[in-house]
Amino acid sequence: MTSTIRIDLQGQVATVMLNRPEVRNAFNDEVIAELSETFARLGEEPAVRAVVLMAEGPAFCAGADLNWMRRMADYTREENLADAGRLAFMLRAIYECPKPTIARVQGDVYAGGMGLVAACDMAVSVDTAHYCLSEVKIGLVPATISPYVIRAMGPRAAHRYFLTAERFSAAEALRIGLVHAVVPADRLDAQVGEWVAALTSASPNAVRECKKLVQDVAGRDITRLLIDRTVEGIADIRASDEGKEGVQAFLGKRKPNWLSS
């Protein structure tokens, strides 16, 4: 592992830190590859119950690294397809990570960095952070990050901020749903801790299945097929070991075995 990211394991929580403060944690092909591998690996690690994505320095992520952008300027369409495909794979690795993910945003987020925040399940922002989808200012569009950002902020807000490239505040990020909480800097870790405590007190299997449930149901038409899938989902988890244990523990007024083990 190189110095572009740092990984820390404390108990059931893995912290992934962007570690390029000298370039405002902008990402390049190396960072993309490392984040892809890291989230895939942590997603399969039995001891890990939650993953926190954070950053070193004053900015969370400024999007694409300038040196990387200079190289891309001379790419052919085929090279651009391959390059964008790697970025898309990284975002999907974060979004589909089987473990719940939390973005701890301690500073400004620009362009592609918005995709990192939106791909996480939860996000808490420092109240002084600013956000910007700046791509149109340089003749580009936020295409690769758009599935995640539009899901997070909604199409109406996306129409405005994709097209105008306006910078907006943490309070506005909260209002439109991009982040779930806005706190002073000295409360960031406390908020993350509260979410981690909630996640690690719940059934590991139920948390994993709930994450998949939201991804499968969000934005879908309520069809007979969707209803049938949700019926199967509750039937399957009721019959699972953790489902049975959780209900029996609740009825018996005792702690379930995932808390006592």
**245: annotated active-site residue:** no
| 234-243 burial code (b ≥16 CB/10 A, e <16) | eeebeeeebb
- Residue 71: helix, strand or coil by DSSP? helix
Given its phi and psi angles, is residue 111 left (phi above 0), alpha (psi -120 to 50 degrees) or beta?
Answer: left
Residue 53 in contact with residue 16, Cβ under 8 Å?
Answer: yes
Tokens of 50: 């939650």
**Whole-number Å distance between alpha carbons of 111 and 4:** 19
Unique residue bearing structure tokens 């399969």: 44
The catalytically annotated residue of 22, 34, 135, 194 is 135
Reference 86, options 29, 45, 146; nearest CA is 29
Cα–Cα separations (whole angstroms), residue 21 to 3, 60, 93: 11, 9, 23
Give me the sheet containing 167-169, strands edge to edge: 59-61, 108-110, 130-132, 167-169
Unique residue bearing structure tokens 């994993």: 208
**Whole-number Å distance between alpha carbons of 225 and 142:** 32
Q: Which residues are part of the catalytic machinery?
A: 135
